[in-house]
Amino acid sequence: MITLPIALSLGVAVGVAVAVGVASIVSQYVQPYSFVRARSLRSLLTKPGKIEELISSTDQGFTQILSSHSLSEYYDLANVSSDIELKYELSKYIKNIYNSTTLLSSEKEKAFLNLYSSSVDVLTYKLLIAKWLKGDPDPDTSSIPKTTIFDDEMINKILTSKDTYSLTNIKGLEKITHGLESILEEARLSKNTSDINKIYYELEHKFYKSLLYEAKKIKSESLERFLKIEIDLLNLEKIIRGLNLGVNPVVIQSQLIPIQYKMHDDIIKNISNFKDAFSFLQSLDIPEYKDVIDVTINTLNDDFNPIKIRNVFRNYLVKYASKAFSKEMFSVTLIASLIKLQLFQIEVLETIFRGKQLNLENDKIHTLVEYFEL
């Protein structure tokens, strides 16, 4: 006869054995799935040859090529005739990518990835703030690109608002728009056009602070490192641009995102010791960024071209994000890398399309998007 304690012990043992067996079976399928899923995500990115084909195409050929692309299931370009309409379709595309890649993600991971993918919404938000501050009575909003957050109703609500509450009560962007009321009201009362830049910098600071806050909840070192590298590169680009334009170092420092990684506080405090970007870069000793620093120095030797400098930093981040796909594990960092690459990709597509509408030469368009090398 088996006593109750023995029976319970046997039950626990059997339960543990079953759990271990199930875990083993699940593991056998999850790992291959993760591997295949990671590779399939990479196929969503436009190859260099396809980009060259798009640059050489006509306006109509542009949409036809994209409609035959492997990622066409995520967007509909049938009725696209302007860059504003293209922006709207591609903003939906980013959201569709997010929805399709986060099915197995935790709620914490989704919170980070959803906010990370909302940078297209933030761009529209900036345009709305600028138009609202001007008090522009013109009802025409055709120059404002719609997104999944900012539809016609939301855009009209913001532009016709008499107070700052409607500008900061944005569902989906609460984490970065709440708390902007006072600075918005101050800018409206001052009528100083330079105040708009203060708002933009504050918005950018809140965006990255919120992202880092969400990333820390996930407890992923690779994700935090990925985000901090992006912030470092943004700050480094601002310093170089500011020094070359002769901007007061105090002003440059106020524009930097207040999150530090390799670009630590000692480096930032010493900006005032350098007369130009060239001498500043030569003083940097950051092994992780040696390649991007060397390329930037070479670029400055040729001539200071803001677009080329921007391309250097973007290309570095593109290549860093691409490295995530060399790993076999399907992780939140890999999805974040994909979203970043997709955000770069839609900007490339928008730039090509807009360049065609402005009748820019193909070489000029190529220069604008050459950073996107996978």
pLDDT one digit per residue (tens) for the chain, 374 residues: 444 344 434 344 444 444 444 444 444 444 455 556 656 666 777 777 888 999 998 877 888 888 776 666 777 777 788 888 888 888 888 888 888 888 888 999 999 999 999 999 999 999 999 888 887 666 678 888 999 899 989 998 898 888 888 889 998 999 999 889 999 988 888 877 678 888 999 999 999 999 999 999 999 999 999 999 999 999 999 999 999 889 999 999 999 999 989 999 999 999 999 989 999 999 999 999 999 999 999 988 877 788 889 999 999 999 999 888 776 577 899 899 999 998 998 899 999 999 988 999 999 999 999 998 86
- Residue 270 and residue 210 share a domain: no
Other CB atoms within 10 Å distance of the CB of residue 367: 15
- Structural domains of the chain, count: 2
Residue 84 contacts residue 142 (beta carbons within 8 Å): yes
Task: Mark whether 123 and 158 lie in a shared domain.
Answer: yes
Separation between Cα atoms, residue 138 and residue 95, nearest integer Å: 30
pTM to 2 decimals? 0.86
Task: Count CB-CB contacts under 10 A for residue 46.
Answer: 22
CA 306 distance to own-chain centroid: 20
Q: Within a domain: residue 169?
A: yes
Supply 163's token pair: 């107070």
- Let me know if residue 322 belongs to a domain: no
**Does 181 lie in the same domain as 228?**
no
Assess whether 193 and 265 both reside in one domain. Answer: no
Q: What DSSP string runs through 105-130?
A: --HHHHHHHHHHTTHHHHHHHHHHHH
d(CA 171, CA 169): 6
Whether residue 298 contacts residue 261, with contact meaning beta carbons closer than 8 Å, is answered with no
Q: What's the CA dihedral at 221, 225, 226, 231 to 10 degrees? A: 140
Structural domain of 150: 107-219
Residue 46 carries which DSSP code? Answer: P
Looking at 257, 276, 304, the residue that finishes a domain is 304
